[in-house]
Structure 1
Amino acid sequence: MPARRFDAERLLLARRDARLRQSEVGKILGVSDARVSAWETGRSVPDPEKLPGLAEALKHGLDVLFPRAGRPDLADLRADAGFSQTATRKLIGTRTQGPVAAAENGRRRLAAEYEQRLADAYGVSVEALRRAQERSFGNDVPEPGEPEPEKSVQEDGTALPTTLAERIVYVLEQAPNPLSDAEIAVAGNARAGKQILSEGLVRDLRMGVVTSATSEELDALAQALDTTPLIWSNDADVQRIIAETLLLKGQIAAIAARGGEEQGLSAELLTFISKEVDKARAEAMAHRDQPASP
């Protein structure tokens, strides 16, 4: 989810407006004045959990001094409450921060016994905590009273797949010869050169029983499905380009299977279209690698 926007100059002006020295701000936050100086000159950026303390020390609202566009996920709630991830182990009474880290990274949802403890510590309701958790898993659920987010659509008006399961099914539907779960696992492991996928994992991901996967698993899955790992991107523009590319690729494969020249398409034209598909993939990759707008 979108992190709070940090502006070094804004911090400097806010401190001067509060008539505080760097050393005084550092003392309040438990850091050195050199660290505060580095923040104000843009040489470094404070950890997200430091921002609430900074805003309070400078007598500014957190959303005013460090605004964020978008709804918070679990990591945002934690940072806004001033807790590091390591500190959460005391909040939930565990030896490590593993349960919180797994939930924040969209790997495994919080156990019910941890929800109330974290909600109390973060100063939110359990329901708000659960909504934030869904966002950590890639589901941008709205707050109560907010309209449901509009789904991106293709040119034909059909909605683009949004969940991991929907995307897997979408890629399989575009393939001329869809693979079974076992075949996908075998192909992914063969191309990755090691055991990463299992038939059970592929099935659970396809059916939505498991809603997230590691980057290594997603890369192997993309290779097995003969597509780009960008298929898992949440960027709507990237998704639209890939969806159109996959659709065109499927049409080309179908024509080739029937005999391209018999359908009025020469081998040269099929080659040209295939190159255009590759170009579209490159454009999607370039779009992903572009720096975000300030």
Structure 2
Amino acid sequence: MPARHFDGQRVRAERRAKNLTQKQLAQAIGLKTHAPVASWESGKSFPDGEKLPGIAEALGKDLDELFPRDGAPTLRDLREDAGYPQNKTGQLIGVTSHIPVSNAERGMKRLDDEYVPRLAKAYGVTEQQLLDAQDRSFGVFVPAAGARGQETSRPRPETLAEKLSYLDKETFSGGQSAPTDADLAAVINRRAGAPVVAPADIAALRAGKVTETTPVIREGLGEAYGVSPMFFQDNDEVALQVVEGISFLAARERGDILGLAARGNDSGLSGAALAKINDLIAELGLGKGSRAGGEGR
């Protein structure tokens, strides 16, 4: 499945809106038969990532709007967004083999300096954007990107309401639902051993109508979301660490941090550095087993 979100039903709807047959869409993106398009639309398979730009163009849609992507692009993402299969990348950097780009995409060996401007030009990005994407391929945290090619600052929720909203959005995916007000109240009250809050109190926190909490509420929220209770205090450094930890965890679950077992090479993150990343995730309580309302959910 491509790194971008692909919805076959959405593609079918957009194709029909353009009065295109499956055969016509297939021809527009260089396919000899409509069978792959039929398979994509039925959800039986997914197109290779480098085909998504062509599909979006044929349907008259923006790539980011039709096939959104969470987080920032890696080298592979940039290549696919430019519409190139990996076996064509050697030509882009002026060599006979695609191995240099393949190694960089897999976090094994970084690109030689001379390849960077050539590849950036081919992908339609700046050299810095290409280097940032390469860092992500090696598991190095780089501030998230907005629309393709537009770097934005790292998100850092500040108010309590923003922090709750951030956790709801960033730590629940794959069919999981964020906790309800009643879910959070139940976790807090169970931890406190007494009915200290009601669902309406949680709603007030989420709406920003109440901006202060007690230690027992912060501890309950921390348990519910699987993060440090300090995240809910006025502490920018802790908030930033939690944001970074969640970003690392999300990358690990997507397979973007390729070296969470030490690779034993000189180009990627060292085993010690990777161990520190995992220690940070563990210290902040961001393991897979920590999800809100863990009991009975």
Q: Which residue of 1 aligns with 2:69?
A: 68
Report the alpha carbon displacement of residue 12 of structure 1 after superposing the two structures with TM: 0.3
Greater share of helix: 1
Report the alpha carbon displacement of residue 93 of structure 1 after superposing the two structures with TM: 2.2
Query: Could you tell me which of 148, 152, 155 is aligned with 1:146?
Result: 152
Report the alpha carbon displacement of residue 61 of structure 1 after superposing the two structures with TM: 0.8
Q: Which residue of 2 aligns with 1:211?
A: 268
TM-aligned CA distance change 1:33 to 1:231, over 3 Å: farther
Q: Which residue of 1 aligns with 2:28?
A: 28
**Offset from partner CA, 1:155-181 (integer Å, 9 cap, x none):** 678866979xxxxxxxxxxxxxxxxxx
Q: Quick one: distance in 2 between partners of 1:115 and 1:230?
A: 29
What is the correspondence of 1:87-236 to structure 2 with a 5 Å cutoff? 87-142=88-143, 146-148=152-154, 210-212=267-269
Q: Quick one: distance in 1 between partners of 2:3 and 2:155?
A: 19
Q: Quick one: distance in 1 between partners of 2:76 and 2:84?
A: 10
Which 5+ residue runs of structure 1 have no aligned equivalent?
A: 164-195, 222-228, 246-282, 289-294
Report the alpha carbon displacement of residue 69 of structure 1 after superposing the two structures with TM: 2.1
Report the alpha carbon displacement of residue 239 of structure 1 after superposing the two structures with TM: 5.0
Q: Which residue of 1 aligns with 2:15?
A: 15
**Which one-letter code corresponds to 1:147 in the other structure?**
S
**Offset from partner CA, 1:79-131 (integer Å, 9 cap, x none):** 00000111101111223211111111122111111111111110111111111
**Offset from partner CA, 1:137-192 (integer Å, 9 cap, x none):** 222322577334559985678866979xxxxxxxxxxxxxxxxxxxxxxxxxxxxx
Counterpart check, 1:243 vs 2:283: yes
Q: Please report the TM-score for the alignment, with normalisation by the length of structure 2.
A: 0.55
Q: Quick one: distance in 1 between partners of 2:97 and 2:290?
A: 38
Q: Quick one: distance in 2 between partners of 1:230 and 1:285?
A: 17
Q: Which SS does the other structure have where 1:87 is aligned?
A: helix
Report the alpha carbon displacement of residue 287 of structure 1 after superposing the two structures with TM: 6.2
TM-aligned CA distance change 1:12 to 1:117, over 3 Å: same
RMSD over aligned Cα, in angstroms?
Answer: 3.7
Report the alpha carbon displacement of residue 3 of structure 1 after superposing the two structures with TM: 2.0
Report the alpha carbon displacement of residue 231 of structure 1 after superposing the two structures with TM: 7.5
TM-aligned CA distance change 1:108 to 1:130, over 3 Å: same
Q: Quick one: distance in 1 between partners of 2:228 and 2:12?
A: 46
**Which one-letter code corresponds to 1:68 in the other structure?**
R
Q: Which has the higher contact order (CA 8 A, sep 6+)?
A: 2
- Contact 1:230-1:285 at 8 Å conserved across structures: no
Q: Quick one: distance in 2 between partners of 1:33 and 1:19?
A: 15
**Offset from partner CA, 1:184-226 (integer Å, 9 cap, x none):** xxxxxxxxxxxx99xxx6xxx8xxx75336xxxx6xx8xxxxx
TM-aligned CA distance change 1:285 to 1:146, over 3 Å: closer
Deviates more, 1:93-102 or 1:37-46: 93-102
Deviates more, 1:23-32 or 1:73-82: 23-32
**Which one-letter code corresponds to 2:49 in the other structure?**
P
Q: Which residue of 2 aligns with 1:175?
A: none
Q: Which residue of 2 aligns with 1:83?
A: 84
TM-aligned CA distance change 1:30 to 1:147, over 3 Å: closer
**Which one-letter code corresponds to 2:13 in the other structure?**
L
Larger Rg: 1
Matched pairs, number: 193
Identical aligned pairs, as a percentage? Answer: 40
**Which one-letter code corresponds to 1:22 in the other structure?**
Q
Q: Which residue of 2 aligns with 1:48?
A: 49
TM-aligned CA distance change 1:146 to 1:26, over 3 Å: closer
- Contact 1:107-1:212 at 8 Å conserved across structures: no
**Which one-letter code corresponds to 1:18 in the other structure?**
K
TM-aligned CA distance change 1:38 to 1:112, over 3 Å: same
- Contact 1:134-1:140 at 8 Å conserved across structures: yes
- Contact 2:9-2:42 at 8 Å conserved across structures: yes
Report the alpha carbon displacement of residue 55 of structure 1 after superposing the two structures with TM: 0.4
Q: Please report the TM-score for the alignment, with normalisation by the length of structure 1.
A: 0.55
- Contact 1:26-1:36 at 8 Å conserved across structures: yes
